[in-house]
Amino acid sequence: MNDTDVSKQIQQMVRFIRQEAEEKANEISVSAEEEFQIEKLQLVEAEKKKVRQEYERKTKQVEVRKKIEYSVQLNASRIKVLQAQDDVVSGMKESASKALVKISGDKNNYKKLLKGLIVQSLVRLKEPSVLLRCREMDVSVVKSVVEDAKREYTEKAKVRTPNVTIDNVHLPPPPTHSDPHRPSCSGGVVLASEDGKIVCENTLDARLDVVFRQKLPEIRKQLFSKMGA
The CATH number for 164's domain is 3.30.2320.30
Using pLDDT thresholds of 50, 70 and 90, give the confidence band for residue 212: confident
Encode pLDDT of 69-120 as tens digits. 999 898 888 888 878 877 887 787 788 888 888 898 899 999 999 999 999 9
Out of 64-68, 91-95, 179-183, give the one with best mean pLDDT: 64-68
Number of domains the chain is built from: 2
What is the C-alpha to C-alpha distance for residues 29 and 36, in angstroms, rounded to an integer? 10
Encode pLDDT of 121-132 as tens digits. 999 999 999 999
Which of 57, 75, 105 represents a domain boundary (last residue)? 105
What is the pLDDT at residue 144? Answer: 97
Which of 105, 137, 153 represents a domain boundary (last residue)? 105
pTM of the model: 0.63
The candidate with the shortest Cα–Cα distance to 201, out of 213, 214, 190, is 190
What is the pLDDT at residue 8? Answer: 77
Residues 6+ apart with CB under 8 A from 47: none
Asked if residue 92 and residue 29 are part of one domain, the reply reads: yes
Asked if residue 164 and residue 80 are part of one domain, the reply reads: no
Asked if residue 199 and residue 171 are part of one domain, the reply reads: yes
What is the extent of the structural domain holding 47? Answer: 1-105
Q: Are 46 and 185 in contact (CB under 8 A)?
A: no
What is the pLDDT at residue 226? Answer: 61
Based on C-alpha coordinates, what's the Rg of the chain?
A: 49
What is the pLDDT at residue 190? Answer: 98
Asked if residue 151 and residue 41 are part of one domain, the reply reads: no
What is the pLDDT at residue 80? Answer: 86
What is the C-alpha to C-alpha distance for residues 58 and 48, in angstroms, rounded to an integer? 15
Which of 105, 136, 163 represents a domain boundary (last residue)? 105
Q: Are 123 and 153 in contact (CB under 8 A)?
A: yes
Asked if residue 87 and residue 11 are part of one domain, the reply reads: yes
Q: Average pLDDT in the 22-34 region?
A: 82
Asked if residue 113 and residue 216 are part of one domain, the reply reads: yes
More confident residue, 216 or 57: 57
Q: Are 193 and 125 in contact (CB under 8 A)?
A: yes
Q: Average pLDDT in the 203-227 region?
A: 83
Asked if residue 220 and residue 111 are part of one domain, the reply reads: yes
- Answer yes or no: is pLDDT of 1 > 80: no
Q: Chain-wide mean pLDDT for the chain?
A: 88
More confident residue, 166 or 79: 166
